A and B are shown apart, each in its own frame.
Chain A
């Protein structure tokens, strides 16, 4: 196992920059998830670590050794692809042992490694089968087995669960987590699914438009998003945002919403008097009360079983509320809601977080 360090790593195609100055230290045994919308550069970053893409600038080290110019096979990493990328003309055992056979390991070593991996992944009954005779989940397991047998320094996962159906994805997610707990292998995992990121990661790297937005533990990103992008991207349904004007008082600041609602905050935020700010609140933190401060029109009611998502219109903007109170399933035209001040997030005009509530 190994540590991976990226220092000011960048990637550009000609003059077009797709990734700028990424700094990231991955500790031995850590499970780091790169998450972001498609096109944010997360897959490119992973492929640069794997050696499948050139690194335009900066340095990449694995276990302290600079590997920028090393071929993929000399970096001693294993990768699991979204499409699984199994060799269709080889059976499961041959797929898993291919790397060891290329390294001319002895037959006994190969057989032992394959049977250990297939035992861990429940692939024993399928060793003689070709990939096309396997289900999606089984193929995914073979792809992981192929990575495990090599005992590489690090595992790289490129959206490995995206081709599976929802139930299988959940199951494989748990399996990857269990496997990581068991093997303790340094892992870098790319996904656009923020639930996968939240559940698997020891640390999440949230990316957007080719740059890192925030690095932190999953709940850190959830509770204290560094900017509007992370606030909106992490969490489902996503955070609600309302624009307002900041009024500074002696003890605390107050945000005045467009229709004159005054929301006093618990602290003084570092913003100029009269500056426009964005308030954020997660749907599950919004409360419904008969004497609530804000009027909301009910647009749509979505029961999810676990709870209810209410689609509201507040100040002409769409606004979501999540509740487990089934009484709210009753059709009604309007509601009164409260935004508890200890649950509010405040962002300045450029989208950066201003206050920790």
Chain B
């Protein structure tokens, strides 16, 4: 320290090996985690992506060749894919909207104090804990007129003209998985919205009550603005999940009747595990990934705009 110049010139003359070690040191420390991330996340993703450009059919031992954009050309002419895309929009939109609307109503009900509220809050969470395959089987049986009561009730109420299985009716079949999905997904919205509701300071409601706001005005001018960020993020998440969520459809209708309940995710499943065409399934998955990424980016940008406006 007494000879700063000597120290500095010493640093300049460091051997190359030493300089490399200094620069690489942080990377060595991070290496175990980086290796893990690459192995667990990037390798499967890249492998999956590469399948989309290769001809991979499990039953054909001579397949596996690189075929460029051939899958995508086929996909562009695949009517079943476009039908699945349309069904996905319908399935996702109806499920998210109903889950959100009913979840919000439930959250508002659970926000008011009443005897036994703790128990009710715990019970509301129950559907979420049911495995999706079990939920799908359960609802498939409920809709089955031989063992389930629902067709008979609906016929008695005049909703159906006869106690038939709606899962077998091409025009109504999509409602089966949607209803099961709504039942299964309401708790997610109810619980997250309830948490957000309970974070709203009570005295803001009191101030509004004194200012002259009725229940509806309090809901519109206080509750909704306070819930808006939570609503935005939960709807974004649920939309992506539900668009990818084929379990219920596979279990309840398997995409039928006549592909009327086939969504993109279940179409991928059908291509990969029934026709065993992994290459084509990967190509569809890639398209779905791009669509969902675009949707997410759109929401993120809108949200950013809203935050900046604040």
Whether A52 contacts B209 in the complex (CB less than 8 A), given A87-B222, A89-B225, A130-B310, comes out as yes
Partner of A71, one of B207, B208, B209, B217: B209
Which A residue's beta carbon lies closest to that of B205? A85
- Asked if B206 CB lies within 8 Å of chain A CBs, one says yes
Please state if A85 and B217 are interface contacts (CB–CB under 8 Å).
Answer: no
**In the complex, what distance in Å separates the CA atom of A110 from the CA atom of B206?**
22
For chain B, the bracket of interface size reads 10 to 19
Residues of B contacting A52 with CB < 8 Å?
Answer: 206, 209-210
Residues of B contacting A130 with CB < 8 Å?
Answer: 310
Residues of A contacting B79 with CB < 8 Å?
Answer: none
Residues of A contacting B310 with CB < 8 Å?
Answer: 89, 130
Whether A81 contacts B211 in the complex (CB less than 8 A), given A87-B221, A89-B225, comes out as no
Residues of A contacting B221 with CB < 8 Å?
Answer: 87, 98
Which A residue's beta carbon lies closest to that of B207? A85
Which B residue's beta carbon lies closest to that of A89? B225
- Asked if B204 CB lies within 8 Å of chain A CBs, one says yes
- Asked if B201 CB lies within 8 Å of chain A CBs, one says yes
Residues of A contacting B206 with CB < 8 Å?
Answer: 50, 52, 72, 79, 81, 85
Partner of B203, one of A51, A72, A81, A103: A81
Please state if B222 and A77 are interface contacts (CB–CB under 8 Å).
Answer: no
Whether A85 contacts B209 in the complex (CB less than 8 A), given A102-B217, A130-B310, comes out as no
- Asked if A117 CB lies within 8 Å of chain B CBs, one says no
- Asked if B213 CB lies within 8 Å of chain A CBs, one says yes
Please state if A77 and B210 are interface contacts (CB–CB under 8 Å).
Answer: yes
- Asked if A276 CB lies within 8 Å of chain B CBs, one says no
- Asked if A113 CB lies within 8 Å of chain B CBs, one says no
Partner of A79, one of B207, B213, B222: B207
- Asked if B10 CB lies within 8 Å of chain A CBs, one says no
Residues of A contacting B15 with CB < 8 Å?
Answer: none
Residues of A contacting B213 with CB < 8 Å?
Answer: 73, 98, 102
SS of A interface (majority): loop
The winner among B203, B212, B217, B226 for most chain A CB atoms within 10 A is: B212
Whether A73 contacts B209 in the complex (CB less than 8 A), given A87-B221, A89-B225, A102-B217, comes out as yes
Residues of A contacting B209 with CB < 8 Å?
Answer: 51-52, 71-73
- Asked if A266 CB lies within 8 Å of chain B CBs, one says no
Residues of A contacting B207 with CB < 8 Å?
Answer: 79, 81, 85-87, 146
Please state if B210 and A78 are interface contacts (CB–CB under 8 Å).
Answer: yes
- Asked if A213 CB lies within 8 Å of chain B CBs, one says no
Q: 1/0 contact trace for B196-234 toward A, CB 8 Å? A: 000001011011111111100100011001100000000
Which A residue's beta carbon lies closest to that of B222? A87
Residues of B contacting A98 with CB < 8 Å?
Answer: 208, 211, 213, 221
Please state if B212 and A103 are interface contacts (CB–CB under 8 Å).
Answer: yes
Please state if A85 and B212 are interface contacts (CB–CB under 8 Å).
Answer: no
- Asked if A352 CB lies within 8 Å of chain B CBs, one says no
**In the complex, what distance in Å separates the CA atom of A257 from the CA atom of B195?**
62
Residues of B contacting A211 with CB < 8 Å?
Answer: none
**In the complex, what distance in Å separates the CA atom of A228 from the CA atom of B217?**
49
- Asked if A20 CB lies within 8 Å of chain B CBs, one says no
Per the 8 Å Cβ criterion, residues 34-83 of B in contact with A are: none
Whether A83 contacts B201 in the complex (CB less than 8 A), given A52-B206, A89-B225, A102-B217, comes out as yes
Residues of B contacting A86 with CB < 8 Å?
Answer: 204, 207
Whether A102 contacts B225 in the complex (CB less than 8 A), given A52-B206, A83-B203, A87-B204, comes out as no
- Asked if A99 CB lies within 8 Å of chain B CBs, one says yes
Residues of A contacting B226 with CB < 8 Å?
Answer: 88-89
Please state if A73 and B203 are interface contacts (CB–CB under 8 Å).
Answer: no
Question: Nearest Cβ in chain B — how far from A190, in angstroms?
Answer: 14
Please state if B212 and A99 are interface contacts (CB–CB under 8 Å).
Answer: yes
Question: Nearest Cβ in chain A — how far from B191, in angstroms?
Answer: 24
Partner of B211, one of A73, A82, A83, A89: A73
Residues of A contacting B222 with CB < 8 Å?
Answer: 87
**In the complex, what distance in Å separates the CA atom of A100 from the CA atom of B257?**
58
Please state if B212 and A102 are interface contacts (CB–CB under 8 Å).
Answer: yes
Which A residue's beta carbon lies closest to that of B212? A73
Question: Nearest Cβ in chain A — how far from B307, in angstroms?
Answer: 12
**In the complex, what distance in Å separates the CA atom of A259 from the CA atom of B212?**
64
Residues of B contacting A99 with CB < 8 Å?
Answer: 211-212
**In the complex, what distance in Å separates the CA atom of A88 from the CA atom of B222?**
9
**In the complex, what distance in Å separates the CA atom of A190 from the CA atom of B117?**
34
Which A residue's beta carbon lies closest to that of B200? A88
Q: 1/0 contact trace for A115-138 toward B, CB 8 Å? A: 000000000000000100000000
Which B residue's beta carbon lies closest to that of A132? B310
Show the binding face of A for B, using Cβ within 8 Å: 50-52, 71-73, 77-79, 81-83, 85-89, 98-99, 102-103, 130, 146, 150
Besides A51-B210, A52-B210, A85-B206, 12 other CB < 8 A contacts? A51-B209, A52-B209, A73-B214, A77-B210, A79-B206, A83-B201, A85-B204, A88-B226, A89-B225, A98-B213, A102-B212, A102-B217
Show the binding face of B for A, using Cβ within 8 Å: 201, 203-204, 206-214, 217, 221-222, 225-226, 310
A sample of 17 cross-chain residue pairs with beta-carbon separation below 8 angstroms, ordered by A number, consists of A50-B206, A50-B210, A72-B206, A81-B203, A82-B203, A83-B201, A85-B201, A85-B203, A87-B222, A88-B225, A89-B310, A98-B208, A98-B211, A98-B221, A99-B211, A102-B211, A102-B212
The 4 A-B residue pairs whose C-beta atoms are closest, nearest first, are: A99-B211, A85-B207, A73-B212, A89-B225
